[in-house]
């Protein structure tokens, strides 16, 4: 019997071609954990309006950031998996995606077939939210395989210190007027229904800030990005916040994205291209992004230690 760890990230189209992007978006946006609207109402909108208009546009964005080895999210997640595997000798560490490939259920079943019992499942999202975690939970539970799920790690001291160190390193490179913590947004309806995501994001900003001695507290801002659709999502929206900072005379801005541990479309295209362009067009001067962890060995060791501590706690409770 071997010990097993399944790392899970969101997923990516198989290629940046419009047909593959459309297939990926159809799977992603059909998950009621992501879009809570009744399928009878949502599916005609999704298939009749959103997919025909959004797929080709998203495909152009994917083409702009696609790597020779494939999707940035997949490539960086695979490299992170390799680092975690190196930090957990004797474990079977694998990677799956909530949408697209590798499939969660197939990967877990293969792990069990290879001798792994009661694997640990670790979503690569520091903060818990229904829109990222529930799809994972549903797919894992559907296998019937006994497992341990790590729900979040935003509150881990080591994680906060590692993120603060990356921010501090970037902050020391230039003069900045503001440091913006930008989280992927979610619909406000989810928060009203009890989703803890907003509280966990705010707690992340507060927790990391205590390890940023060089950054004045009045320079730290929390914002949300990647809004989708007409319904209200968590605010302030990053793009609006960037323009408001310029209006306040804060033209040199450092942006950190704590809800993304690996570079993806949101960091490489939405932030580094679209939000950068909007910021510059509004009169901003310097726009820098704190690099994601990607395959950072220290971050990989943190994840490995988190898994070992979790397994030990489960064993003690048994």
Binding site membership for Fe(2+): which residues? Answer: 184, 266
Rg (CA), the chain: 20
CA angle (180 as vertex; 178, 186 as ends), nearest 5:
155
Backbone angles phi, psi at 26, to 5 degrees: -65, -45
Instruction: Name the nearest CA neighbour of 292 among 259, 270, 263, 253.
Output: 263
- Residues of each annotated binding site: 184, 266
The three-point CA angle 204-237-228 to 5° equals: 105
Encoded tokens for 29: 């946006």
Torsion sign across C-alpha atoms 121, 89, 297, 15: negative
Residue 300: CB atoms within 10 Å: 23
- Cα separations in angstroms, 212 against 17, 180, 202, 204, 317: 42, 13, 16, 13, 36
Is residue 177 classed exposed, middle or buried when 0-12, 13-18 and 19+ CB atoms within 10 A define those classes? Answer: middle
Token pair of 206 as six digits: 């507060």
């Amino acid at each position: 019997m071997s010990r097993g760890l399944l790392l899970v990230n969101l997923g990516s189209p198989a290629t940046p071609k419009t047909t593959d992007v459309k297939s990926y978006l159809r799977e992603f946006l059909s998950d009621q954990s992501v879009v809570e609207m009744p399928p009878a109402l949502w599916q005609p909108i999704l298939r009749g309006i959103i997919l025909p208009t959004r797929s080709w546009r998203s495909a152009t964005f994917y083409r702009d950031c696609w790597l020779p080895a494939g999707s940035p999210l997949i490539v960086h997640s695979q490299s992170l998996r390799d680092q975690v595997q190196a930090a957990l000798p004797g474990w079977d560490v694998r990677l799956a995606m909530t949408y697209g490939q590798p499939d969660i259920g197939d990967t877990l079943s293969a792990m069990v077939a290879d001798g792994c019992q009661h694997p640990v499942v670790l979503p690569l999202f520091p903060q818990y939210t229904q829109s990222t975690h529930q799809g994972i939970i549903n797919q894992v539970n559907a296998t019937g395989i006994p497992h341990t799920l790590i729900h979040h790690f935003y509150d881990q001291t080591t994680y906060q210190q590692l993120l603060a160190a990356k921010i501090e390193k970037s902050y020391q490179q230039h003069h900045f007027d503001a440091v913006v913590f930008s989280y992927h947004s979610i619909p406000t309806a989810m928060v009203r229904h009890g989703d803890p995501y907003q509280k966990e994001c705010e707690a992340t900003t507060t927790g990391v800030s205590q390890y940023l001695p060089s950054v004045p507290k009045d320079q730290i801002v929390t914002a949300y990005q990647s809004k989708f659709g007409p319904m209200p999502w968590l605010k302030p929206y990053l793009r609006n916040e960037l323009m408001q900072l310029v209006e306040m005379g804060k033209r040199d801005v450092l942006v950190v994205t704590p809800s993304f541990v690996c570079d993806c479309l949101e960091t490489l295209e939405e932030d580094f291209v679209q939000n950068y362009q909007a910021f510059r067009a509004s009169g901003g001067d310097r726009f820098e992004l704190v690099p994601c962890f990607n395959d950072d060995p220290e971050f990989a060791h943190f994840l490995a230690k988190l898994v070992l501590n979790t397994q030990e706690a489960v064993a003690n409770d048994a």
